[in-house]
Amino acid sequence: MGVGDFAVANLFSADKSHSPDTRFIMNKPALLVRSLLASAGWLGGIAAARAQTAEQIISKARAYLGDEAALSAVKSVHFVGTMETRQLVPEGSKPLQFAIDIVFQKPYQQRITRSTSTATEITGLDDYDGWQRIQDMTDPSRWQLTLLDPLIIKKLRANTWENLNFFKGLEKRGGSVKVIGPAAIDGAAVVKAAFIHEPGITFYRYFDTATGKLVLTETDQGDRIKEEGEIMVDGLRFPRRVTTASRATDAKGQVVDNPIVITFDKITLNEVFPDSIFAVPSMTPPKSVPGPAR
């Protein structure tokens, strides 16, 4: 993510399943002057974008988020909020809403809990082990546990790294950052860079050339992730809201944007979470229904 991909993308790019609830835009001389000024500014932005190396882009992006020492000190991030989606919802109906609880912990631990009053879906990552558990909240005996395949696990590991390392150090895990070049998003001059984890797992990020702010993220699958608003946590900037838009075919056969919106109520840094909440759950039926990670 800009901080935050849920690439979740970000959160659920790797997880395309649905919970049980889902089944669950004057005069001519003045106009000319303004056009020339706008063009000059945009061209200046292009020149600045071309001059930046990957290291410079990352350094500016991290400086926008906060103090270097504070970024490097992050060991875990805990997001709590709500998720809203219209996936599989009949036209004219209200969007589905879920409570969402997301934990990322270094080096490669992740736990995402989506829940309603009747069902809970947990997706977990413990290094190279990935799993998903769906639980009927009204009956402890009704549950399903699925072990995730290697490709999804690789995507979850990349997603975890992205949410904990704030763009820096990808080469240490065998990846690379490639500067694609200048672009424009909503009239703003940006520079596009590819964060390549491995073939098939790349995050294309667009950074404001002046400030370093992350403007947009795209994934290999065509998802577009936009961050809005701001929550300051221990001097670091995090988004208030993350919207992931993917292209999907509706009931009429038309290709439309299918957004998932996550709004955060609380973000906490550097809590220490036990390894047990990320480990693959027991196959033994629970005596009580498990709640979200806290």
CATH number at residue 241: 2.50.20.10
Domain assignment of residue 9, yes or no: no
Q: Which domain holds residue 264?
A: 26-277
Whole-number average pLDDT of the chain:
83
- Tell me what percent of the residues of the chain surpass a pLDDT of 90: 66
Count how many domains the chain has.
1
Q: How confident is the model at residue 289 (pLDDT cuts 50, 70, 90)?
A: low
Question: Does residue 147 have a pLDDT over 60?
Answer: yes
Mean pLDDT to the nearest integer, 145-151? 97
pLDDT (mean) for 242-264: 81
pLDDT band per the 50, 70, 90 thresholds, residue 87? confident
CA angle 218, 129, 1 (to 5 degrees): 25
User: Residue 64: inside a domain, yes or no?
Assistant: yes
> Quick check: pTM over 0.85?
no
pLDDT higher at 179 or 140? 179
Q: Which residue has the higher pLDDT, 142 or 253?
A: 142
pLDDT at 30 over 60: no
Is 21 within the bounds of a domain?
no
- Residue 73 included in any domain: yes
2 has pLDDT over 90: no
Examine residue 247 and state whether it is found in any structural domain, yes or no: yes
Would 8 be classed as within a structural domain? no
